[in-house]
Chain A
């Protein structure tokens, strides 16, 4: 398929990208260079739709309790339709080496940046929803070129950033079954295909259960994982949260704080988006596939964005930061397909619970960084219970759910520290 055809397929949304390789016993294992070139007609169409947005009345409350407030979303969407420039994001992506390879019948898009340092540790890092590879781009410099970012050559990583199936420029599965375990197997195959014999894995949001699954799978070469949305909530706490019962006795201060955060999130309905996509991804898909404003609101409704201003007050959280990501979802027509990862996981469950994540089966080394703005702060006591082989646990003082996006330097420093002991095995 030529680039032009590829881009057209992406834009017009059908499943051309998902290669019909299931029936093919000999899968094409080639790794093909990939560049993004979105046709101008798609950008014009997007602008036209934004200009025609039909808005609801404003919410009847003065806060976010009914969802994204009109006064917050409308200026963003209007800027999107007027002045925002996708080509900048496209150039940023195209400045990095991008590839496509077919694994288990689905085309997997990935960014692959090798360090100039010879002993760099290969690292596969997985984004989440409503994120994409874009949320990880700011870490490419610090991780692959540490000497330019306050590190030493021994801190270097070779970086692999895949787009999850159904997300971004990866293909869209046309059959069910692409849950975190199958993705983990695909990632192991990807690293193998790239010739890496020893590597580590990292993830936040969906990247965390994918990395947990890799940890359980323990494919040859995987030395350990780092997660920033760890699955540490113990079963007895999960049971209380499920029924809205009283605070369990005997919690430490940090456990109590974590319990309160999880309990409050449940009461505030912070996971309604996950319930919807976990049960009916197709139903919400029609609206967010057809309406740019609908897509923007749906994505920004993720609680990870609740503290984001996306105005000019914070350059790290500027309108362009979120619009690059939202536009990527729009142009790749992945609003519906990306939501299916929740369905695969089942009913909109949160991936922070130790039992369903089977963390006791993760025998490989596990490293955890706790960011203060994450939905809950995993207590070390729970983390030690959940992960039998925890080699690193650190609470930092900045950063939220999108840690790599919000605090790339700090995040990179955490990965260096987290994986240092595993390099020494080399």
Chain B
């Protein structure tokens, strides 16, 4: 719908215009303008169609910046991190971060052959909507299945992901008969952009932690008329989905998570002490312990920075190379997977997949607004990302081998007393839906099959 597109464009132009005026005024002005502009296209239920469109000059400017990148010299370690496939943390040599060779291949491709318009076309082809919840515009993709009795599911992405990491599973979920499933496997799919991410609004006040997002999602599903649904997520999406399960509105019948929080309290304490794994752990538990300990010790720099000083990261808003490197350095295994894809060995994620997501962050100008979710989390979090949180509604959990940690069955059963399904896959990193859509689809179907009517 062009009116929406136009108002979106106006918003961007005004923001740009106001950006040259006094800073304080600009921020206040943009905040107050956004909802009123979009309200023009509002319908009676408060849900407005949204058309994806980006001005060509933004893409031209992006390419100009890519070409003008000012590089650092290469890292000083012959970093084998990107070459490895998960074995044990002890095999990882020292790393100084994303390697120059990988970055230069990425930037070379991004600035020349890469074509954003293909991704934009895919996004445009989907039913996109915006609705205001709790004072903020929430963007979402909403695809209904043709099958009667499809189970509604709200699926939440994470950081550094976006709705783009979930695009591959839309058709298998909504159109299962074309993807090895039966009509009974059908879902109606709702894929929102988290606040500060993608096309959703950027909060201008604090308080948008995962619990508040969970409450917004419950409102969203109600507004869409769903009185019986399930929820799914990985990364931040897993935390938000767990928060929905803790709120446990009656219409939410179950959840599935591919980054389940299962670590029992005594293990949380052991990890905090920084010591070796407790002696009584089984092999899967010991491996999980080592994975989490490795991540806490070596892998939290980016999360720490965003949790404590997100605003200081001006460089990732201003520099495409800076943004790309920041996004690549999420966790050791997915970085390895991504680096290999730029070396010509794609397995799950293609170069285009990766750049679609990074370009989406760039064009929506959300590098810092997305990072604030980490800051919000530190203000209110009562438990760590991977800790068991006391969920009592039915849960399905998938443990991928190259996830930050592979949740052991024993911990998962303890964490979720009503465990519908525990799936242990033989491949998959952190971005399960993006990287292994078929396995992911099978896992979600297996979890919810008893609930589908």
B-contacting residues of A (Cβ < 8 Å)? 13-15, 49, 52-61, 66-71, 73-75, 172-176, 242-243, 268-269, 272-273, 275-276, 278-298, 301, 333, 335-337, 340, 343, 347-348
* Contact across chains for B298 and A279 when beta carbons are under 8 A apart: yes
Question: A268, A269, A272, A286: which contacts B72 (Cβ < 8 A)?
Answer: A286
Q: 11 A-B Cβ contacts within 8 A? A: A15-B73, A49-B70, A54-B317, A54-B318, A57-B30, A280-B301, A284-B325, A285-B325, A286-B103, A286-B325, A290-B71
Partner of A301, one of B68, B297, B312: B312
- Taking a contact as CB atoms under 8 Å apart, the answer to whether B322 and A294 are in contact is yes
Write out the residue numbers on chain A whose beta carbons fall within 8 Å of the beta carbon of B238. Answer: none
A68 touches B314 (CB 8 A): yes
Q: Looking at the complex, which one of B301, B317, B329 makes contact with A56 (CB distance below 8 Å)?
A: B317
CB-defined contacts of A60 to chain B, threshold 8 Å? 203-206, 372
Is A59 within 8 A of B72, CB to CB? no
Say whether B307 contacts A269, CB under 8 Å.
yes
When distances are taken between beta carbons in the complex, the residues of chain A under 8 Å from B365 are: 54, 56
Kindly provide the distance from the CB of B386 to the nearest chain A CB, expressed in whole angstroms: 19
Cβ A280 vs Cβ B95 within 8 A:
yes
Question: Interface 1/0s, chain B 1-42, versus A by CB < 8 A?
Answer: 000000000000000000100011011001000000000000
* A269 contacts B318, C-beta separation under 8 Å: no
Cβ contact within 8 Å between A284 and B97: yes
Per the 8 Å Cβ criterion, residues 274-333 of B in contact with A are: 274, 297-302, 304-305, 307-319, 321-326, 328-329
Chain A nearest CB: distance from B13 CB in Å? Answer: 15
B90 at the interface (CB under 8 A from A): no
What is the minimal beta-carbon distance from B403 to any residue of chain A, in angstroms? Answer: 20
Binary A-proximity of B47-75 (CB < 8 A = 1, otherwise 0): 00000000000000000010011111101
Alpha-carbon distance A295/B71, docked complex (angstroms) = 13
Chain A binding site: helix, strand, loop or mixed by DSSP? helix
User: B368 in the interface, Cβ–Cβ < 8 Å?
Assistant: yes
Apart from A287-B318, A287-B322, what are 15 other A-B pairs with CB-CB below 8 Å?
A58-B23, A60-B206, A66-B375, A68-B311, A172-B73, A174-B76, A176-B94, A243-B272, A273-B312, A276-B304, A287-B316, A287-B325, A294-B314, A333-B70, A348-B301
Is A280 a contact partner of B372 (Cβ separation < 8 A)? no
A57 touches B369 (CB 8 A): yes
Verify A13–B71 contact, CB threshold 8 A.
yes
Partner of B368, one of A57, A273, A290: A57
Asked if B96 lies at the interface with its beta carbon under 8 angstroms from chain A, I say yes
Give the CA-CA distance A68 to B318 in the complex, in Å: 15
- CB < 8 Å: which of A53, A54, A175 contacts B76? A175
Cross-chain contact A297 with B321 (CB below 8 angstroms): no
Flag if A66 contacts B310 (CB, 8 Å): yes
Residue B141 lies at the interface, judged by CB distance under 8 Å to chain A: no
Residue of A nearest to B315 (CB): A294
Query: Once the chains are docked, how many angstroms separate the CA of A52 from the CA of B70?
Result: 14
Instruction: Report the minimum CB–CB distance from A56 to chain B (whole Å).
Output: 4
Contact B27 A57 (CB under 8 A): yes
Asked whether, in the complex, the Cβ of B319 is within 8 Å of the Cβ of A290, the reply is: yes
With both chains docked as a complex, state the minimum distance between the C-beta of A9 and any C-beta of chain B, in angstroms: 11
Check if B85 is an interface residue, CB within 8 A of chain A: no
Distance between Cα atoms of A174 and B72 in the complex (Å)? 12
| CB closest chain-A residue, reference B372 | A60
Across the two chains, which residue of chain A brings its CB closest to B367? A56
Quick check: is B99 within 8 A (CB to CB) of the other chain? Answer: yes
Q: How far is the CB of A70 from chain B (nearest CB, A)?
A: 6
Q: Which residues does chain B contribute within 8 Å of A14, judged by CB atoms?
A: 73
A278, B24: Cα distance in complex, Å: 34
B224 CB within 8 Å of chain A: no
Instruction: Give CA–CA (A246, B203) in the complex, Å.
Output: 35
For the complex, give the distance between the alpha carbons of A55 and B96 in Å.
27
Residues of B within 8 A of A (CB): 19, 23-24, 26-27, 30, 65, 68-73, 75-77, 94-100, 103, 202-206, 272-274, 297-302, 304-305, 307-319, 321-326, 328-329, 365, 367-369, 372, 375, 378
Check B305 against A275 for contact (C-beta < 8 Å).
Answer: yes
CA distance A243 to B275 in the complex (A): 12
Residue ID in chain B nearest A343 by CB atoms:
B96
Residue in A56, A278, A297 whose Cβ sees the most chain B Cβ within 10 Å = A56
Chain A positions within 8 Å of B369 at CB level = 56-57
A172 to B298 Cα, complex, angstroms: 24
Complex alpha-carbon distance, A340 and B27, angstroms: 36
In the complex, chain B residues whose CB is within 8 Å of the CB of A272: 304-305, 307-309
Cβ of A330 to closest chain B Cβ, rounded Å: 9
The distance in angstroms between the C-alpha atoms of A265 and B368, with both chains bound, is 23
Chain A residues with CB below 8 A from B304, complex form: 269, 272, 275-276
The closest CB in chain A to the CB of B206 belongs to A60
Q: Given the interface contacts A14-B73, A60-B206, does A297 sit within 8 Å of B315 by beta carbon?
A: yes
Nearest-CB distance from A240 to chain B (Å)? 13
Partner of A286, one of B24, B98, B203, B297: B98
Asked if B325 contacts A67 (CB within 8 A), the reply is no
Closest to A72 in B: B23
When the two chains form their complex, are residues A56 and B311 in contact, meaning their CB atoms are under 8 A apart? Answer: yes
Partner of A59, one of B65, B71, B311: B311
CA distance A282 to B104 in the complex (A): 13
| Alpha-carbon gap, A290 to B299, bound state (A) | 24
Known: A172-B73, A291-B318. A280 touches B329 (CB 8 A): yes
Considering only CB atoms, which chain A residue lies closest to B311 in the complex? A67
- Known contacts A57-B30, A301-B309; is A290 also within 8 Å of B298 by CB? no
Complex alpha-carbon distance, A296 and B311, angstroms: 12
User: Which chain B residues lie closer than 8 Å to A75 at the CB level?
Assistant: 23
Contact B96 A290 (CB under 8 A): no
CB of A70 within 8 A of CB of B315, answer no
Given contacts A66-B309, A275-B300, A294-B313, is CB(A281)–CB(B204) below 8 Å? Answer: no
How far apart are B22's CB and chain A's nearest CB, in angstroms?
Answer: 9
CB of B101, distance to nearest CB on chain A (Å) = 11
- Which residue of A53, A61, A280, A290 contacts B322 across the interface (Cβ within 8 Å)? A290
What residues of chain B lie closer than 8 Å to A174, measured between beta carbons?
Answer: 73, 76
Chain B residue contacts of A53, Cβ below 8 A: 318
Complex A-B, nearest 10 residue pairs according to Cβ-Cβ distance, in ascending order: A294-B315, A287-B322, A269-B308, A287-B315, A283-B97, A67-B312, A67-B311, A280-B97, A282-B97, A336-B72
- A287 CB, min distance to chain B CBs, angstroms: 2
Question: A291 vs B301: C-alpha distance in the bound complex, in angstroms?
Answer: 20
Name the one of B206, B273, B300, B325 contacting A61, with C-beta atoms under 8 angstroms: B206
Are B72 and A289 within 8 A (Cβ)? yes
Q: Among A176, A279, A286, find the residue whose CB has the most chain B CB atoms closer than 10 A.
A: A286
A69→B314 CA distance, assembly (Å): 10
**A290 and B321 form a contact (CB under 8 A):** yes
Residue among B75, B99, B297, B302 with max Cβ neighbours from chain A (10 Å): B75
Q: How far is the CB of B83 from chain A (nearest CB, A)?
A: 16
B312 touches A298 (CB 8 A): yes
Could you tell me the distance in whole angstroms from the C-beta of B209 to the nearest C-beta in chain A?
12
> What's the nearest-Cβ distance from chain A to residue B111, in Å?
13
Cα A347 to Cα B75 with chains together (Å): 16
Query: Of A68, A172, A242, A283, which is in contact with the most chain B CB atoms at under 10 Å from its CB?
Result: A283
Closest to B62 in A: A54
Residues of B near A56 (CB, < 8 A) are 311, 314, 317, 365, 367-369
Min CB distance B314 to A, Å, is 4
**A268 proximity list for chain B (CB < 8 A):** 308
B315 x A295 contact (CB < 8 A): yes
Q: Tell me, rounded to whole Å, the shortest Cβ–Cβ distance linking B202 to chain A.
A: 6
Most buried by B among A58, A176, A275: A58
Cα–Cα, bound, A269→B367 (Å): 20
A71's partner among B23, B98, B305 (CB-CB below 8 A) is B23
Q: Is the CB of A288 within 8 A of B315?
A: yes
Per the bound structure, the CA–CA distance linking A233 and B155 in Å amounts to 48
